[in-house]
Structure 1
Amino acid sequence: MKYPVTPDGRYFVVKGKLWRATNPNLSEAERNTYVKNLMDARRAVKQAKADDDEALLKAAREQVNKAKIALGERGPVWWSDNQKDFNRYLAKNTPYKKWYNSLNDNLC
């Protein structure tokens, strides 16, 4: 399933909530490396939960966070125009409200 992306490409929308998109300025090789790291870390989270190992779970979650920061999905924003970050905001409560509402209008 493809999620709608804001016109500026900064976010995609899932269940009305904005999620920061991956930095489009990353090279394909960089992006692939960071995605691989993210998937490895997510598997480590799953294994740590299965093993009920809190120390490994904490370490694995830190690795997930590092990968998400490297991808630009968390941490400092990847754009340079000093615009506020609306990651995890409801689209209807942001400057993207009109755009988001138009998506629903086009579905009718």
Structure 2
Amino acid sequence: MASADDDDRWLVIDGRRWRRTDPALPAQIAERLRSHLGRARSAVGTAKRAGDDEAVAAARRRVGLAKHGLGERGPRWWDDEVAARVGRAEEALDELDTIAPPRADGDDGVNA
């Protein structure tokens, strides 16, 4: 039987276990990272349809950065102090904002 900790850490879909987003992340940071993740996933599909391997690789890197920031990849978030986890998320967000800045109209796809 799964423990409560396991339920907080993992999500099972179709028998496959996926790491959950770090629940300690401030909501605004997590929302912005999810926005980047969605835009990056869309960019992967667009680049694949265009047959642009370099753009696919760049978009997949953005997906990886967002997932690391959310705690879904990389070090297990439950093994680190909250401050370190939030710091990793902020670093990922800063890098993503540099690579793929929010739109010029200020709408980053996240509801304020």
Instruction: Indicate whether the TM-score tops 0.5.
Output: yes
Contact kept in structure 2, 1:6 and 1:12, CA below 8 Å: no
In the comparison of the two structures, how many residue pairs are matched? 77
* Equivalent AA in structure 2 for residue 7 of structure 1: A
Counterpart Cα distance in 2 of 1:35 and 1:55: 23
* Aligned match of 1:56: 55
Cα distance change of structure 1 residues 52 and 31 upon mapping to structure 2, 3 Å threshold: same
Q: Which residue of 2 aligns with 1:65?
A: 64
Give distance in 2, aligned partners of 1:41 and 1:78: 22
Q: Show the 5 A alignment for 1:1-108.
A: 7-8=4-5, 9-80=8-79
Flag the structure with larger Rg: 1
Percent of residue pairs bearing the same amino acid type: 42
The Cα of 1:6 is off from its aligned counterpart by 6.3
Structure 2 unmatched runs, 5+: 81-112
Root-mean-square deviation (CA, aligned residues, Å) is 1.6
- Give TM-score scaled by structure 2 length: 0.65
State the TM-score, normalizing by the size of structure 1. Answer: 0.67
Q: CA, structure 1 residues 67+16, in 2 after alignment: closer, same or farther (shift >3 Å)?
A: same
Are the counterparts in 2 of residues 12 and 19 from structure 1 also a CA contact under 8 Å? Answer: yes
Q: Post-superposition shift, 1:17?
A: 1.8
C-alpha distance in 2 between matches for 1:37 and 1:73: 14
Q: Extract unaligned runs of 5+ from structure 1.
A: 82-108
Equivalent pair of 1:69/1:75 in contact (CA under 8 Å):
yes
1:6 to 1:51, Cα distance in 2 relative to 1, 3 A: farther
Alpha-carbon distance in structure 1 between the residues aligned to 2:46 and 2:31: 23
Output the CA distance in 1 between the equivalents of 2:10 and 2:19: 4
